[in-house]
Structure 1
Amino acid sequence: MIDIKKFGVSVIYGVFTIFLLAVIFSLIFSLILTFTDTQEKSIKLLVTIISFFSVFAGGFICGGKGKHKGWVLGGATGLLYSLIIFLYQYLGHGSIFSLEQLVYFTCYTLTAMMGGVLGVNLMGGSHQDY
């Protein structure tokens, strides 16, 4: 059985981790783009890789904090992250997800689920003493 309060707190920690990493890496990349001759198109793959790392880390933190059902916790983290981005894009910019974005956010959710499973197994799953 999932404790709802622990579930919610875990998911919030995971989403906060994703956004914190996004802010940190956005600052780093904006400084690189501002103060060097690097073009945005030349770091597109690196940005995508770091995006997946951030979502994985958010799922990992969420799973470690929740200690049970990492795939559910990670999936909820990925879905909440996607919902927040969708609402920002729709309400703030008046556009909806494109097909490419739907594929990305589906993969983000799956990545967060994998992070949640690994987080539970490495950081906090219940262990029995034999």
Structure 2
Amino acid sequence: MRVLLVEDTDAIQLVIEALLTKLGLHVDVAKNGRVAVERATTESYDLIFMDGQLPELDGYEATRRIRKHESLSNAPRQIIIAMTADVMPGNRAAFLKAGMDDYVAKPISESILSAILDRWLVRRCGRI
């Protein structure tokens, strides 16, 4: 299974990448929204973890562009999970409105990642 991790903070990126790898996933990393759009529109991922606040292009706009590409090219819809440390009321609705499928708050633990993977990848693929 392939996952795109979109995270600009090195320490967070290293921790989440290590956890995902430990769970048996192949992880590609994008450090900004522009690169995330490039990768998501040229490659296929089973799941994308998208930070909300990113340089060059924030996670909201990156997601809207990915969804637009999917719609225009009849590409399969990729699962996009918002990741954020900003847990203010209304954020979940804003992420979903931008086209993300789910939302997880940072800090992210292995158990939280496992639950997200179970929820979305098992639903789509029948297994991880």
Q: What is the TM-score when the length of structure 2 is the normalising length?
A: 0.28
Q: RCO higher in 1 or 2 (8 Å CA, sep ≥ 6)?
A: 1
TM-score (norm 1): 0.28
Q: Which has the higher helix share?
A: 1
The structure whose Rg is larger is: 1
Q: Which has the higher strand share?
A: 2
